[in-house]
């Protein structure tokens, strides 16, 4: 069996195409999410202050400039309109002439909030932002006594907010593990049919079960190698914090179990499809679906109820949960349940895959 594992791993290392199939989609997604992270957390906004001498207006400008949802530019009305027309800014906040005097006199001046309403998502982000700025402005006392009597006391579940890219990265790590398990074990099996070497395997005195175990273990080890490299790189680049030994081992176990599930399904697909051309698209599509269905880019709670029910039977969900706890939030809480479900999923994958490939070899 060891010889088979070594042979399949050697083929994997020397197959840039297989490595590309495994690594390229998740790495490409990571790259673009990193590039887009700025765009989803803040918007470019022009501020036009038509009350340049007013103290309250100056305070409002400072408040808006300090707001973490904006990347502001203080512009003249003409420049702001030009920037808005050229899509350099998503919105214009105009402070009217006499704003400070009107505030002092209790005349309730009106700000103008011009919004480029391309779609409901970005528009709602901007609609939420201005009231946030206004409440911060009122709290400064620049508009007189703050009429807002409500205080908000926030308590967070996790000690710190994870970064958006790191959050997405962990979901993609799970996708990578599943895809790597599927493709590495599946393609290793398919190759035997494509090259005709399946005959040699069949006439060898090695039991079929051992042959299959060799393929599965090689697929899982190759997936683990890819997972460890990607995790190591993300830690090295500061996207993820350095895990403790326990957290690292739990994360590795979660990755291994998910890859085992993938390898089991991979060899089952190989027995059914017997061609790399069919195997690749099916495996890539399957891992993408499972990634999104398990809340990979969002979180389970944001999905509709029926989709949450679907996600609860997908192993990715538990792998993502265990990986987020250990690699993102520095905790091991709840990982026992996740590992249990992953172990069940791995067992199911192997129970499905091994007999299927055994039957395939027998034919």
Partner 1 sequence: MRAAWAIARNDLAQLLAQPVAAIVTVAVPINFLILFVLFAVGGGVVPVTVRAAGHGPATAAFVHALRNSYTFDVQPVATAAQAARAIASQNSVASIALPRNVGAAHSTIAVTIDNLNADFADDIRRALPLAVTQFYRGVLPLQWREVDSYPATATFLGFIAVSIQTVALLIGGLLQGGLGVAREWEGGTIKELLLAPVPGWSVVAGKLLAAFLGALAGALLVLVALLLLGVRPHAWAEYAGVMVLVLIVFACLGVGIGSALRSRQTVFPLAFGVGLPLFFISGPFGAITWGTPAAAWAARIFPVVYANAAFQHAAYGIWTLDTSVGASWAILAGWTLLGLLASVWLYRRATVAH
76 binding partner 1? (CB under 8 A)? no
Query: ∠ CA 7-287-119 to the nearest 5 degrees?
Result: 150
To the nearest whole angstrom, how small is the minimum distance from the Cβ of residue 68 to partner 1? 7
Name 81's Cβ contacts closer than 8 Å, sequence gap at least 6. Answer: 92
DSSP state of 297: S
Chosen residue from 3, 151, 203, 362 binding partner 1 by CB under 8 A: 151
> Please, which of residues 166-195 interact with partner 1 by CB under 8 A?
166-167
Chosen residue from 253, 282, 348, 352 binding partner 1 by CB under 8 A: 282
> Please, which of residues 215-254 interact with partner 1 by CB under 8 A?
none
309 binding partner 1? (CB under 8 A)? no
Nearer to partner 1, 59 or 347 (CB): 59
Q: Which range touches partner 1 (CB under 8 A), out of 86-94, 209-217, 225-233, 346-354?
A: 86-94
**Quick check: 234 and 169 in contact, CB under 8 A?**
yes
* Number of amino acids touching partner 1 (CB under 8 A): 105
Query: For the chain, what's the residue count?
Result: 363
Which residue shows structure tokens 């809340």?
295
Name 133's Cβ contacts closer than 8 Å, sequence gap at least 6. Answer: 60, 63, 64, 67, 70, 93
**Quick check: 224 and 12 in contact, CB under 8 A?**
no
CA torsion angle 316 322 325 328 (round to 10):
-60
**Quick check: 266 and 185 in contact, CB under 8 A?**
yes
**Smallest Cα–Cα separation from 235: which of 221, 222, 247?**
247
To the nearest whole angstrom, how small is the minimum distance from the Cβ of residue 167 to partner 1? 4
17 binding partner 1? (CB under 8 A)? yes
How many CA atoms lie within 13 Å of 234's alpha carbon, on the beta-carbon side?
26
**CA distance readout (Å), 125 to 32, 72, 136, 138:** 21, 15, 17, 21
Nearer to partner 1, 153 or 245 (CB): 153
Nearer to partner 1, 211 or 279 (CB): 279
For 94, phi then psi, to 5°, come to -110, 125
300 binding partner 1? (CB under 8 A)? yes
88 binding partner 1? (CB under 8 A)? yes
Nearer to partner 1, 115 or 216 (CB): 115
To the nearest whole angstrom, how small is the minimum distance from the Cβ of residue 108 to partner 1? 6
- Classify 47 as helix, strand or coil: strand
To the nearest whole angstrom, how small is the minimum distance from the Cβ of residue 209 to partner 1? 28
To the nearest whole angstrom, how small is the minimum distance from the Cβ of residue 43 to partner 1? 6
Hey, what are 37's tokens?
């992270």
299 binding partner 1? (CB under 8 A)? yes
> Please, which of residues 89-148 interact with partner 1 by CB under 8 A?
90, 99, 103, 106, 108-125, 127-132, 134-136, 138, 143-144, 147-148
Q: Which range touches partner 1 (CB under 8 A), out of 163-171, 222-230, 236-244, 354-362?
A: 163-171
| 245-273 and 276-293 helices, crossing angle to 10° | 140
Nearer to partner 1, 62 or 127 (CB): 127
Q: Which range touches partner 1 (CB under 8 A), out of 13-21, 47-55, 209-217, 350-358?
A: 13-21
What is the C-alpha to C-alpha distance for residues 178 and 194, in angstroms, rounded to an integer? Answer: 23
To the nearest whole angstrom, how small is the minimum distance from the Cβ of residue 32 to partner 1? 4
The strand pairing partners of 48, in sequence order, are 94
Chosen residue from 3, 53, 78, 152 binding partner 1 by CB under 8 A: 152
């Amino acid at each position: 069996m060891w010889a088979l594992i070594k042979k399949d791993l050697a083929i994997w290392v020397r197959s840039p195409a297989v490595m590309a199939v495994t690594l390229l989609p998740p790495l490409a997604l990571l790259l673009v999410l990193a590039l887009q992270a700025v765009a989803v957390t803040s918007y470019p906004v022009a501020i036009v202050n038509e009350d340049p001498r007013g103290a309250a207006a100056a305070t409002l400008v400072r408040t808006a400039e300090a707001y973490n949802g904006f990347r502001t530019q203080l512009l003249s009305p003409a420049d702001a309109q030009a920037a808005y027309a050229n899509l350099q800014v998503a919105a214009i906040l105009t402070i009217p002439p006499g704003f400070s005097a009107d505030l002092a006199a209790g005349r309730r001046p009106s700000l103008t909030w011009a919004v480029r309403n391309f779609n409901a998502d970005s528009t709602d982000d901007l609609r939420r932002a201005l009231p946030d700025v206004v409440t911060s402005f009122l709290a400064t006392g620049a508009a007189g006594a703050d009429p807002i009597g409500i205080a908000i006391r926030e308590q967070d579940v996790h000690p710190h907010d994870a970064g958006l890219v790191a959050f997405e990265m962990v979901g993609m790590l799970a996708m990578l593990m599943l895809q790597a398990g599927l493709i590495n074990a599946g393609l290793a099996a398919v190759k035997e049919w494509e090259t005709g070497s399946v005959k040699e395997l069949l006439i060898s005195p090695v039991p079929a079960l051992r042959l299959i175990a060799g393929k599965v273990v090689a697929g899982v080890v190759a997936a683990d190698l890819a997972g460890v490299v990607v995790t190591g790189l993300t830690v090295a680049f500061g996207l993820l914090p350095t895990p403790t030994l326990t957290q690292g081992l739990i994360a590795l176990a979660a990755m291994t179990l998910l890859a085992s599930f993938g390898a089991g399904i991979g060899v089952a697909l190989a027995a059914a499809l017997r061609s790399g051309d069919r195997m690749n698209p099916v495996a890539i599509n399957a891992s993408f679906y499972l990634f999104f269905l398990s809340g990979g880019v969002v979180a389970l709670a944001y999905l509709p109820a029926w989709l949450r029910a679907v996600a609860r039977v997908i192993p990715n969900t538990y792998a993502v949960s265990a990986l987020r706890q250990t690699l993102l939030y520095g905790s091991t809480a709840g990982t026992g349940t996740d590992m249990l479900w992953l172990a069940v999923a791995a067992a199911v994958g192997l129970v499905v895959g091994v007999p299927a490939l055994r039957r395939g070899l027998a034919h």
